[in-house]
């Protein structure tokens, strides 16, 4: 690891002052991504601003029913929280299926959605990577692309986003709360991550001087009836080949509202809009789920070695929908 300076801050204003005054500074929360990337030379901040002591770890239900999860809440604490488990099983399950117990004790909610890709070429500084430095080229294109995207890839980058939580949050119409030097802003979480396009270096729309304060959502019949299904090469402590978060509001056997999102298929958590449209107003049946999955996958563009992801995503979508909608 290259040498760096370290400062621990106790307030958000202090954190931002430190960021403004220190060149090449980065925020340190749980460290499970950042320290790892610094060890392998993928991240080289000159100063780490440790925000771990900021009072942003609460999980609380507001008077209007909104469930608000502080950015520094640990993954395990959110996964175990009884309110989260009841309000959005997909979110609790996505977290419980992430990483290892040790990592979940360290890693935070804000850090989780800020994870960098696990693309092996991104993590190997001897290989060209446009996400590390745009313009270098992409070794994954034409390389070992088994893990790569089937949606939303660009000629510059074909990687996938590793977060399970981010996929589940799309079923809850979550909001992300950001704090910048000029005040707060809230955004739909659906718009937080971005596709690589011409600029793969940027994973999110977070400003360089902004801090994530919290993620919130309003529990509904749909979020309470949600599930997360994760398919991976080994059954624990692995990133998803394909994952599915599904939430349905079914009344009298008819789907009234649907949220469906995929992980492991794109550089951002992938909201399955086409599938959702194919579910609304239809009977909650296996035939409906299959038609919806196929509607979404019509636009899939697999790489050389990962056509299996299309089949896997189809089957996983059907299974996840059957978990929450029944399988008549």
Partner 1 sequence: MPSGKLSRRRFLVASALPAVAFGIGLRPQLLVARQIVAVTVAPRGPRPVAVALTVNGQRRALTIEPRVTLLDALRERLGLTGTKKGCDQGQCGACTVLVDGRRVNSCLTLAIAVEGKAVTTIEGLAHEGTLHPVQQAFIDQDAFQCGYCTPGQICSAVGLLNEKRPLDADSVREQMSGNICRCGAYPHIVAAVRAAGGAG
DSSP string, 237-257: S---SEEEEEEEEEETTEEEE
Contacting residue, 83, 105, 144, 190, with partner 1 by CB under 8 A: 105
Only segment of 39-47, 85-93, 167-175, 225-233 that touches partner 1 (CB under 8 A): 39-47
Q: Binding pattern to partner 1, positions 239-268, x when CB under 8 A? A: ------------------------------
- Choices 103-111, 221-229, 288-296, 312-320 (CB under 8 A): range interacting with partner 1: 103-111
Q: Does 98 bind partner 1 (CB under 8 A)?
A: no
Query: Does 236 engage in binding with partner 1 (CB under 8 A)?
Result: yes
User: Rg of the Cα trace of the chain?
Assistant: 19
Q: Which of 12, 31, 219, 295 binds partner 1 (CB under 8 A)?
A: 31
Stretch touching partner 1 by CB under 8 A, among 5-13, 63-71, 84-92, 318-326:
5-13
Residue 32 in contact with partner 1, rule: CB under 8 A:
yes
* Structure tokens belonging to residue 328: 């008549």
21 lies in the binding site for partner 1 (CB under 8 A): yes
**63/235 with CB nearer partner 1:** 235
Q: Does 147 bind partner 1 (CB under 8 A)?
A: no
Does residue number 190 form part of the binding site for partner 1 (CB under 8 A)?
A: no
Residue 82 touching partner 1 (CB under 8 A): no
Which span (94-102, 129-137, 197-205, 285-293) binds partner 1, by CB under 8 A?
94-102
**Residue 214: strand pairing partners:** 70, 177
Residues 6 or more apart whose CB falls under 8 angstroms from that of 74 comprise: 30, 57, 104, 105, 106, 107, 108, 109
Residue 18 touches partner 1, criterion: CB under 8 A: yes
Centre a 10 Å sphere on the Cβ of residue 277 and count the other Cβ atoms it contains: 13
- Please, what sign has the CA dihedral across residues 277, 281, 284, 285? negative
Nearest to 96 by CA among 5, 205, 228: 228
- Of 48-67, binders to partner 1 (CB under 8 A) are 48, 50, 52
Residue count (the chain): 328
In DSSP notation, 136-202 reads S--SSTTS--TTS-SSS-BTTB------SHHHHHGGGT-EEEEEETTEEEEEEGGGTB---TT-TT-
Question: Please, are residues 45 and 62 in contact by the beta-carbon 8 Å criterion?
Answer: no
9 binds partner 1 (CB under 8 A): yes
Binding site for partner 1 (CB under 8 A): 1-9, 14, 17-18, 21-24, 28, 31-32, 35-36, 38-40, 46-48, 50, 52, 76, 99-103, 105-106, 236-237
């Amino acid at each position: 690891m290259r040498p760096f300076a370290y400062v621990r801050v106790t307030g958000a204003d202090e954190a931002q002052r430190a960021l403004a005054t220190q060149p090449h500074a980065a925020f340190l929360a749980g460290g499970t991504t950042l320290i790892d990337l610094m060890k392998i030379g993928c991240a080289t901040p000159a100063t780490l601003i440790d925000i771990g002591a900021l009072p942003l770890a609460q999980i609380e239900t507001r008077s209007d029913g909104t469930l608000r999860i502080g950015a520094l809440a640990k993954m395990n604490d959110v996964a175990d929280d009884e309110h989260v488990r009841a309000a959005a099983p997909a979110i609790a399950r996505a977290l419980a299926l992430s990483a290892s117990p040790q990592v979940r004790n360290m890693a935070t909610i804000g850090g989780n959605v800020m994870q960098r890709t696990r693309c092996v070429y991104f993590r190997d500084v001897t290989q060209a990577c446009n996400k590390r430095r745009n313009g270098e080229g992409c070794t994954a294109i034409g390389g070992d692309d088994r893990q790569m995207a089937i949606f939303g890839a660009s000629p510059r980058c074909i990687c996938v986003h590793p977060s399970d939580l981010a996929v589940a949050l799309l079923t809850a119409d979550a909001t992300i709360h950001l704090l910048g030097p000029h005040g707060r802003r809230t955004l739909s979480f659906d718009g937080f991550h971005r596709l690589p396009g011409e600029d793969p270096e940027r994973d999110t729309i977070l400003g360089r001087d902004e801090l994530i304060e919290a993620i919130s959502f309003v529990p509904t019949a749909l979020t309470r009836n949600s599930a997360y299904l994760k398919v991976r090469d080994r059954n624990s402590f692995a990133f998803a080949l394909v994952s599915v978060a599904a939430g349905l509001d079914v009344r009298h056997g008819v789907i009234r509202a649907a949220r469906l999102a995929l992980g492991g298929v794109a550089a951002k958590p992938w909201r399955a809009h086409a599938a959702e449209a194919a579910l609304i107003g239809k009977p909650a049946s296996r035939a409906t789920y299959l038609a919806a999955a196929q509607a979404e996958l019509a636009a899939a563009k697999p790489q050389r070695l990962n056509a299996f992801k299309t089949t896997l995503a189809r089957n996983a979508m059907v299974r996840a929908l059957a978990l929450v909608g029944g399988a008549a």
